[in-house]
Structure 1
Amino acid sequence: MTNTVQCVVLKTESEALDSAPHPGELGERILANVSKEGWALWLERLSMIINENGLSTADVESIQVIEKHMKGFFFNEGEMGHVPAGFHEATTPPKNS
């Protein structure tokens, strides 16, 4: 039987993550509230955040910034986690008819 969660990203019941994807209390909150698909959406956003801000996952200060973005993205906490003004996420270009 597949484990499910009420995903805060998708706003629907979806397949749960298998384990906490991040250490500590934040990882446990994510495990309890984010689906596999919601986590995949976060990973796409994370790439943008790392690239746009020149962050490193090996740097403690960068990880703190990433965690603030995680809290904003998943739980609408704080001022981070939203797409920066003027930034448009990649979309599939329209097909020519």
Structure 2
Amino acid sequence: MTRTVHCRKYKEELPGLDRPPYPGPKGEDIYNNVSRQAWDEWQKHQTMLINERRLNMMNAEDRKFLQAEMEKFLSGEEYAQAEGYVQPKE
């Protein structure tokens, strides 16, 4: 049976993650309140941000930026986009 959560981003019941993506309270919060769909979308968006903005994960400021953007993305708020990126038409 698939575990469902009330997704913070999509505001509906959706399949949840299999396990917390991070240790500690932040991971538990994501596990309990973010759907697998939203998390997968964040992972793709995160990769775009890292690549397009040339973020260095060894740099504390870049990690803080990415963490803040993750919070915005997963909460359904306006978040940073990769510059010049145009979402493909479906």
In our comparison, the structure showing a higher alpha carbon Rg is 1
Indicate whether the TM-score tops 0.5. Answer: yes
Deviation of the 1:18 alpha carbon: 1.1
CA distance in 2, matches of 1:85, 1:41: 14
Gaps of 5+ in 2: none
Gaps of 5+ in 1: none
Matches within 5 A, 1:51-66: 51-66=51-66
Report the TM-score when normalising by structure 1: 0.72
Matches within 5 A, 1:33-44: 33-44=33-44
Larger relative CO (CA 8 A, sep 6+): 1 or 2? 2
CA distance in 2, matches of 1:85, 1:49: 5
Against the structure 1 CA distance between its residues 66 and 8, is the aligned structure 2 distance closer, same or farther, given a 3 Å change threshold?
Answer: same
Against the structure 1 CA distance between its residues 89 and 42, is the aligned structure 2 distance closer, same or farther, given a 3 Å change threshold?
Answer: farther
CA distance in 2, matches of 1:41, 1:68: 16
CA distance in 2, matches of 1:12, 1:66: 25
Report the TM-score when normalising by structure 2: 0.77
The sequence identity of aligned pairs, in percent, is 33
Deviation of the 1:33 alpha carbon: 0.7
Q: Does the residue aligned with 2:13 lie in a helix, a strand or coil? A: strand
CA distance in 1, matches of 2:68, 2:7: 19
Q: How many residues align?
A: 90
| 1:43-73 residue CA offsets vs partner (Å, 9 max, x unmatched) | 1211121123211334433222211111111
Moved more, 19-28 or 36-45: 19-28
Deviation of the 1:86 alpha carbon: 6.7
Q: Which residue of 1 aligns with 2:29?
A: 29
